[in-house]
Structure 1
């Protein structure tokens, strides 16, 4: 099997970019990028600083790359999730905070709806340190899961659990709370005749929930602490689950017919997100070290499935890397990678688009 490489294709100016969400609507190929913060002139660099009264960028694909299409308010932007309910199209934005310091984690995260030419506000949801939305369909029902919360001495009395919302025909309404303290991510998938929802938490265990026909019930713990993201793939007649952890080793688990068991441990710390384009998998690393003095300039990895293992076949530079998404292209797949910080811990870092090439 041939190895692969990533070659740079284009760059997009962004500030504290936390995610990349590609989607198509009404013949347009768009890319949404939420932004955590802008740099404030005269302030010392800090990954927890900056001006968080930010906009989410929506860019349109053209022959040479991406061009500005729309900006919508999404303060302290952490995530954007595009999805459809029937013939309606929505873009949910997650806001971790607002302000320029001191910051307020109690804020609104806005769900936008496509009106045929632009995204307009549809529903405002009260959230606390929102990190991610994930839309999924379960038994024909539309759900929108919110990962939220931050566990500090100053927030302990106001912190909130993660929440799964359900579409009631007019709006998204609360359906089920998921216990959490510092939640980051979700992943919905099916394996072994079961429907699962994985939930990542930094402080509490990251846990796998199973749909029992009425609600999601705990199935197994996936990581004790430091959870960030998940990815699934099928290879060699087996089902696998990747668990990304930032301050603990990330692991590859294998379905044994009842539970996921450890198959392999990935080298290195700092993992934030995975993207699958099988037989290749991208791992994006965020930071290493304390948040007060983080090392942001790290190598992230491109893996290839070989002989029952994930083997690193290439590395690519990231600075505070946060997300990756595969973009289809007639000349071969592209990969968008968001960088949220520069090497000197400023927010004005570029989102980079690579060409994924076999060689």
Structure 2
């Protein structure tokens, strides 16, 4: 008899002491090897760490020199296994690269594979369209200029390298999110700041005859993350709005206590329409996860205008009521959430951008 699990409560499970503050975390499974978490850490040395899930907890596995790393992305191409880091700063020799690492089965470690010139890189997204592999980087700014190109690279199977395929103008961007709906492929960018305002349009692009073309623009407020998810046959897109600032406007009472929004695809109108607003506190990330038949969203609230110690919140899907807050989780400078499952159960991992401590929470189910 299949028992349907329900989320009862969340308990602190592991304090993960990190090399330094953590801007992002990526949880992934290498087949026949195990479950890993890569943290994007602020300082070099010692750089960023990869942890392996061993006897029910994450233990340090490998250190990689990074330069104010912002995010990791795990992806595979055929049998090849890769991990790409978005570096925000220059290395010791004044060169600014983000780096793709390849898993060496012989050494059981990640080794440098390809360096790509980036500009204050915030994020990588990996995806496949019609059998071709792509990697998109978010370039945040070059010097003081936030209005620059982010780049989509295409894997060349002949050379075994990523090559520039398309550039897309972005504004102080933080995140790329790829998703498919039926036969169509989409790429959404979170535009954060154009040099004077955070109240700017973020864009959704659609793949048409060999390149991404503008599909829809949505007004966002310091957008830091897009999260796509499906509930039944419905498609949703949630944006994390981090702050509301416009140099030409009077200051709001609070730059950080603002709505983040969930949009739903309207098939008839062929566009995303607003479904629900949720009050967030400098939200930096949304993560969707399921327990049994229930669907959840957890938000990374990072700052309320006064303190970095703010509750991040788990919302439960309640059908026509939309998402309703069910669990309040104390976090400090919360930057990123990852949901993962092992044979022992379901977990959430959050990274802190304000202290060298990330936490694994266990979802207690009945």
> TM-score with structure 2 length normalisation?
0.84
Moved over 6 A (4+): none
Match of 2:284 among 238, 250, 272: 272
Alignment partner, residue 142 of structure 1: 133
State the partner residue of 1:285. 301
Which residue of the partner structure matches residue 347 of structure 2? 334
In the other structure, the counterpart of 1:196 is 186
Q: Cα offset for 1:54? A: 4.8
How far 1:2 moved relative to its partner? Answer: 5.1
Q: Aligned match of 2:260 in 230, 247, 250?
A: 250
Q: Which residue in the other structure is 2:9 paired with? A: 5
Q: Does the C-alpha gap of structure 1 residues 181 and 237 become closer, same or farther in structure 2, counting only changes over 3 Å?
A: closer
Q: 1:222 to 1:159 in 2, by over 3 A?
A: closer
**Greater relative contact order: 1 or 2 (C-alpha under 8 angstroms, separation 6 or more)?**
1
Partner of 1:56: 48
Q: What is residue 103 of structure 2 aligned with on the other side?
A: 114
Partner residue of 1:216 out of 205, 212, 224: 212
Deviations 1:126-178 (A, max 9, x none): 11110001111111110001011237xx522x963111111012111111111
Partners of 2:148 and 2:116 lie apart in 1 by 13
**In 2, Cα distance between equivalents of 1:246 and 1:202:** 8
CA displacement at 1:237 relative to structure 2: 3.9
Q: CA deviation at 1:21?
A: 1.0
In 2, Cα distance between equivalents of 1:193 and 1:137: 12
Map of 2:364 onto structure 1: 357
Matched residue of 2:280: which SS?
Answer: coil
> 2:46–2:63: 8 Å Cα contact kept in structure 1?
no
SS at the partner of 2:23? Answer: coil
Aligned to 1:175: 165
8 A contact 2:147–2:169 mirrored in 1 = no
Cα RMSD of the aligned pairs, angstroms, is 2.2
- Given that residues 209 and 218 in structure 1 are in contact (C-alpha distance below 8 angstroms), is that contact kept between their aligned partners in structure 2? yes
Kindly tell me: are residues 160 and 94 of structure 1, through their superposed partners in 2, closer, same or farther at Cα, counting changes over 3 Å? same
- Give me the whole-angstrom Cα distance separating, in 2, the residues matched to 1:186 and 1:67: 29
Pair 1:230–1:75, CA change in 2 (3 A)? same
Aligned pair count?
A: 329
**TM-score, scaled relative to structure 1:** 0.86
* Residue 336 to residue 224, structure 1, CA distance change in 2 (3 Å): closer
Tell me the equivalent position of 1:306. Answer: 318
1:266: Cα distance to partner?
Answer: 0.6
